[in-house]
Amino acid sequence: MTQPAVQRTDANRTGPNRIDTTRPHPARVYDWFLGGKDNYPVDEELGRQITSIDTGALRAARANRRFMQRATRRLAREAGIRQFLDIGTGIPTEPNLHQIAQSVAPDARVVYVDNDPIVLAHAEALLRGTPEGVTEYLQADARDPRSILEQARHILDFDRPIALSLIALLHFVADEDGAYELVEALVDTLAPGSCLVLSAMTADFEPENVQRGIAAYAAGGVTLVARSQAEMGGFFEGLEVMEPGIVSVADWHPELSATGERLDGDGPVSLYGAVGLKP
Ligand SMILES: C[S@@+](CC[C@H](N)C(=O)[O-])C[C@H]1O[C@@H](n2cnc3c(N)ncnc32)[C@H](O)[C@@H]1O
């Protein structure tokens, strides 16, 4: 395969990749939720506001991260997937997706994508994979799937199965900004046997909490969209949704955690998760 046109260097702090510390950023607020250190006072302030009014937000963020880990482990171990395209990667928090995949299959190839310069600035931590495998980072916007595919094709073999993960990403993309179209464009290019791993926010379980959280994000300049179970189903058109279906991320195979125990407490959290197989 030819060398990829991949950005792997530190963020350019004066160009379009400048890190704006005056406004909260979703990746950094999420990092604060996960107990990370790569956030600024504006992010912590919004994180604290959200958790004070949406009491489930913290638990949801942690349960979501563990959903990613369980789904990745299952696809590597049971479905034999060796290629992963993870869009909306976030700031590295161990274990990251490549660490899970490469612990099962050291030769796994992983491509990370995010559009936030802070994630680019931390990309080196994402690129420390196994020598047998490949781990790369692309700075790109999910709303431009063509550009992602163009670059990812240099790294992944699209004639073989790929696990495409969009974890806690699509609530940042409104329907009118092409949320469904971008998923369709990406899934269309995948070979049979590929999988879509998706999680996104819902107001189905705790509507008042979630609406308050959405309002707090909006006041911080971040627009979020909550989707119903039926709306989530729209992302899986043409795919076979694996059991147990579209469920709270906390309820998606909790027994597949590293310890085999349910780690996310009882009851649903406000993110749906599901895995679909391309027949
Ligand atoms: C809540 S974090 C989720 C991180 C990780 N996927 C996880 O679930 O642990 C959402 C990530 O999506 C990224 N993101 C939001 N909109 C995006 C877009 N249009 N294109 C690419 N990344 C985006 C943010 O920068 C952030 O890193």
Give the pairing type, strands 247-248 and 83-87.
unpaired
Which tops the pLDDT comparison, 124 or 62? 62
Domains of the chain listed by start with CATH number = 26-277 (3.40.50.150)
Compute the mean pLDDT over every residue in the chain, rounded to the nearest whole number.
Answer: 91
Q: Report CA(139)–ligand 1 centroid distance (Å).
A: 11
**Segment 127-161, tens digit of pLDDT:** 889 999 999 999 999 999 999 999 999 999 999 99
| Count, residues in the chain | 279
Model confidence band, residue 3 (pLDDT cutoffs 50, 70, 90): very low
Q: Report CA(196)–ligand 1 centroid distance (Å).
A: 16
Concatenating the DSSP letter of every residue in 245-272 gives -SEEGGGS-GGGSTTSS--S-SS--SEE
| Ligand 1 nearest-atom number relative to CA 64 | 8
Give the pairing type, strands 109-114 and 163-167.
unpaired
* Closest among 272, 185, 166 to 237, alpha carbons compared: 185
Question: Across residues 34-44, what is the average pLDDT?
Answer: 91
Model confidence band, residue 16 (pLDDT cutoffs 50, 70, 90): low
pLDDT of residue 1 exceeding 80, the answer is no
Q: Ligand 1 atom 11: the closest Cα is on which residue?
A: 88
Q: How many CB atoms lie within 10 A of CB 181?
A: 13
Tokens of 18: 């400048």
Model confidence band, residue 14 (pLDDT cutoffs 50, 70, 90): very low
Q: Ligand 1 atom 23: the closest Cα is on which residue?
A: 88
Point out which residues pair with 166 in neighbouring strands.
198
Question: Across residues 207-221, what is the average pLDDT?
Answer: 91
Q: Report CA(114)–ligand 1 centroid distance (Å).
A: 6
Q: What is the pLDDT of residue 255?
A: 93
